[in-house]
A and B are shown apart, each in its own frame.
Chain A
Amino acid sequence: MFFQIMHTEWLKVKKYRTFWVLLGLFVVFAISINYFTILLMKMVKEKSNNLFSPLLYDYPQVWQSVAFTFSYISLLLGLLVIILISNEYTFRTHRQNVIDGWSRQTFMLSKLFWVVLLSIGATVLCLITGIIFAAIFGERGFSTENIQFLGVYFLQCLMSLTLAMLIAVLVKRSGLSIVLYLAYLFLENIAQLILTKNDIRLGRLLPLEAADRLLGYPFVEKLMPDTQAYSPWLYVIMLVIYILAVNYFVGRRLLRTDF
């Protein structure tokens, strides 16, 4: 069944220009955001007369740096997930897929497939970007120390794409889903800022914030460490709970409601 899902989903996207444009944009943004970080790093070094010399793209720091920069553009993949799901509702092909012989579970898995595949793809791209940037701009030899940040990035991706899937399944229309998705990213940030300002630690456990806290802030966190941080494992546990809970809710909805 897994092969059939893969094959069918491939047929849906292989000639879908929007999909490839967005995916291409993600790759371009992924490389450029890291390149701009290097320019910024050089500028900081020059302006501070070599007082600050952050070695962001040297091993073992590079893994956190690329994971951190990639986390800002995961939303592009979120848009992709929204478009792929809302297309099914717009064209009513979600009905046709079921009429043609997919169970509702299979339809759900076909959407989860994209969430997982895009997360894996982004993590692999993150790994490759890390290796290339460290080879070009770093001075130290290869090290797998801190490579767990790639795992953290994978979780961050899964979290944001799962949220995108939830919104698309609930809203069904692409435009409104995208607006709500971006609004959520913004509002969660605001909520977290307000909670932190008022010394309420719980803001750190909001879905996207938990992933951000786990990724940390390269260089900056050394200057301004988070004194009220939770254990990294708590962030991981919360993320896993969020991802499973959202998927359970989406699954329940797809299985029980009218298409």
Chain B
Amino acid sequence: MLLIFRYHRSNQTTVFLWPIRAYTNYYYPGNLAIHRFNQFTLSILSLQQISKNYGAIQALNAVSFDVPNGSVFGILGPNGSGKTTLLGIVTDVLKANSGSFTLFDQPAAATQRRQIGTLLETPNFYHYLSAYDNLTISASIKGHGENDIERVLKVVGLWERKDAKFKTYSLGMKQRLAIGAALLGNPEVLVLDEPTNGLDPVGIAEVRTLIRDLAKGGKTIIMASHLLDEVERVCTHVAILRKGTLLLSGAVNEVIQREEIFELGAASIEMLRRTLEQHPGFISFAGSNEGDTVQAIFKSDVNPATINHFCAEKGIWLNHLQSRKKSLETAFLELTNDTRN
């Protein structure tokens, strides 16, 4: 505490965070490069104006955002939007043309990557080695012993096939092994690029459950995907990319207006439409609205009970009421289409 206090006093202009950093450094004196992840780290990854081009193609255009500690951060975008390029830069396999980024509030370096479990694009392993032997290499680079290999191989369901050579594995098994490698050493931060690629439906469900469990355990997960339903249920934060440009980023509920869509039916559709238009939360009608039901969009704080009550007060008795929350996919498609237009 004394050290923290002194540090704080000698830096009068520093903000509240500084004492926390001083505390972190106090436990790892003289070795600031090996900044250990801990609960006081506020930003896991912070990107500042990252740009990357492949010749004339602008893959990333001044992308900036922060991944807060403990978040499940979805990097979303259609194919070719720059998701993998972005993660490639963060993992140092690609070089940005301009911009910078920090990991764990420190300038990015190899030592910090060792504390992150990463699955980038395709599984990369030595074909002539078994799953177990491949993981010994990953463990050696990360500076871990081999004692965690059995656990991760069991988590991804490959323990029985641990001695089979990687080249004999199916695509799904290779992907599982890559997920296993990312879990080695039980890292607090995971970077997963299209983690369900190549998996069968059972495998996809298992990986989703695994990700959900990891998120519940407080791990920070940065996940790139074009499969929106994959991240919808677990994402707390999101960054949406399109053609290398960041469309938006932040907490899901703040950045995406997820309006409510209701499907309603009544004896007189015309009366129903006129009544709904008077509701304070009403935004617009959706769909063709032909037939004996009507689709209406309301603000997100409107629920079925209030609508039912409102209509009853106006003398309209609903014979059909169904809530359809607008999915992330719909919001995403609208967003990317708006920009395209």
Contact = CB atoms under 8 A, between A and B. Distances in A.
A8 B140 contact: yes
Given A11-B136, A95-B120, A101 B143 contact: yes
B93 A99 contact: yes
A7 B136 CA distance: 10
B312 interface: no
A12 B138 contact: no
A72 interface: no
> Which of B88, B93, B111, B114 has the most C-beta atoms of chain A within 10 angstroms of its own C-beta?
B93
A98 B137 contact: no
A199 interface: no
A172 B93 CA distance: 16
Interface in A60-116: 87, 91-93, 95-104, 106
Contacts of B91: 98-99
B295 interface: no
Given A99-B118, A258-B94, A259-B93, A12 B126 contact: yes
B133 A95 contact: no
Nearest to B128: A16
B125 interface: yes
B335 interface: no
Interface class of chain B by DSSP: loop
Contacts of B140: 4, 7-8, 11
A197 interface: no
B125 A91 contact: yes
Interface residues of A, number: 28
B136 A101 contact: no
A257 interface: yes
A17 B109 CA distance: 35
B129 A99 contact: no
Contacts of B142: 100-101
30 contacts: A4-B140, A8-B140, A8-B141, A11-B133, A11-B137, A11-B140, A12-B126, A15-B128, A15-B133, A16-B128, A17-B128, A91-B124, A92-B122, A95-B93, A95-B120, A96-B125, A99-B120, A100-B113, A100-B114, A100-B118, A100-B138, A101-B110, A101-B114, A101-B142, A103-B110, A104-B92, A257-B95, A258-B93, A258-B94, A259-B93
Given A91-B127, A96-B125, 11 more contacts: A16-B126, A91-B125, A92-B122, A93-B125, A100-B113, A100-B138, A100-B141, A101-B113, A102-B141, A103-B92, A258-B94
Interface of A: 4, 7-8, 11-12, 15-18, 87, 91-93, 95-104, 106, 256-259
